[in-house]
Amino acid sequence: MSPIPAAFALPGDIATVTGGYLYDRRLFEGLEGLGHAMRLVPLSPQFPFADAAAMAESLAALADLPADCPVIVDGLAYGALETEGLARVRAPILALVHHPLALESGLPADQAAHLEATERANLRLARHVLVPSPHTSRILIERYDVPPGAITVARPGVQPVRIAPAPTDPPLILSVGILHPRKGHDILIAALGALGDLDWRAVIAGTPWEAGHADALARQIAASPVADRITLAGAVPDERLETLYAEASLFALATRYEGHGLVFDEAILRGLPILSCRTGAVPDTVPQDAGLLVAPDDATAFAGALRLMLTDRARREAAAAAARRAAAALPDWPATARVVSGVLQRLA
């Protein structure tokens, strides 16, 4: 069967530096590489909290798509679109849910309830649903009543490593994730404050995302007894991030929730021991012997895990070896695109 034309609708700029947008970008490029004539449909960057004008404009863009053009709609917008307007879209919809919007950290209860109700209603309008992990699939089946047969897991891929590992001395603890409360950088900073007796340095890299959060993290670091050893790097270019991964001895992300977590795959690919939390898709993504997982929101437990990995060289090397073994089984992005291409063909 020949590749069919399709559209990809997402809020804002597809080049935005986050795990979700990276997934979208690699998938878009992969589908083009398989011969699909792909059309990019930009929706309002205000999502998931679009005002009336932005909502109307975004729904109009989707309504303009022809009935024979399947459209992948990123979940950052899909779960928040007005259901009545979405029902008027003629194009077959393939909803891409990285993780349900209502599970974002720090939402007021009424806002979370609204997003859950809207996303539940909108998922009924999708011809099929894409998710990045078995965990997200289970959440949609159990909490959102999506039929199992309506979901396809399209696991994120990885790209080949361009820079050879070159760990630094003292050990570099690397954390990568948008500067948002869900990523738990505040927990990591608090945990590092209890490790002043050990030799290490830490870098937190990630795009500022929630207004004021980067400033709050900077103030927390400034007040830490180990402030001189923690760098809040913010968004960094790809080459700089590659260098940081190569220099790192440990990867640490004290996340409060993940629908998959692309950065864990990146760390595994580089053979890094991983410290994170037993939450969301993390236990499914991080091999049990490739690191340590603790309860979320527990800086004391996170500090204990860091201390163990920093002081027990044999434990650290065993976890690194397990990560390298797991890396061999990680899919590449063309494999992810082939999974989604098959779904598009079925929709057509």
Q: In terms of domains, do 24 and 100 share one?
A: yes
| Nearest partner of 261 among 324, 334, 177, judged by Cα | 177
Check which CATH number belongs to the domain holding 235 and give it: 3.40.50.2000
For the chain, give the mean pLDDT. Answer: 96
What total number of domains does the chain contain? 2
| pLDDT tens profile 189-222 | 999 999 999 999 999 999 999 889 999 999 999 9
| pLDDT surpasses 80 at 59 | yes
Q: Which two tokens stand for residue 150?
A: 């309506």
DSSP 119-188: HHHHHTT-SEEEESSHHHHHHHHHHH---GGGEEE----B----S-----SSPEEEEES-BSGGG-HHHH
What is the percent of the chain with per-residue pLDDT over 90, rounded to a whole number?
93
Please give the residue range of the domain that contains residue 85: 6-157+331-347
Q: In terms of domains, do 260 and 184 share one?
A: yes
| pLDDT tens profile 232-249 | 999 999 999 999 999 999
Within a domain: 164:
no
Report how far residue 343's alpha carbon sits from residue 107's, in angstroms, rounded to the nearest whole number.
Answer: 33
| pLDDT surpasses 80 at 336 | yes
| pLDDT surpasses 80 at 1 | no
Within a domain: 317:
yes
Q: In terms of domains, do 152 and 218 share one?
A: no
Q: Report phi then psi at 52, rounded to 5.
A: -60, -40
| pLDDT tens profile 248-301 | 999 999 999 999 989 999 999 999 999 999 999 999 999 999 999 999 999 999
| pLDDT surpasses 80 at 36 | yes
Within a domain: 166:
no
Residue 72 bridge partners (DSSP) = 8, 94
Q: Which two tokens stand for residue 21?
A: 């947008």
Report how far residue 70's alpha carbon sits from residue 79's, in angstroms, rounded to the nearest whole number.
Answer: 18
Q: In terms of domains, do 139 and 203 share one?
A: no
| Nearest partner of 34 among 2, 8, 7, 65, judged by Cα | 2
Q: In terms of domains, do 342 and 271 share one?
A: no
Q: In terms of domains, do 33 and 145 share one?
A: yes
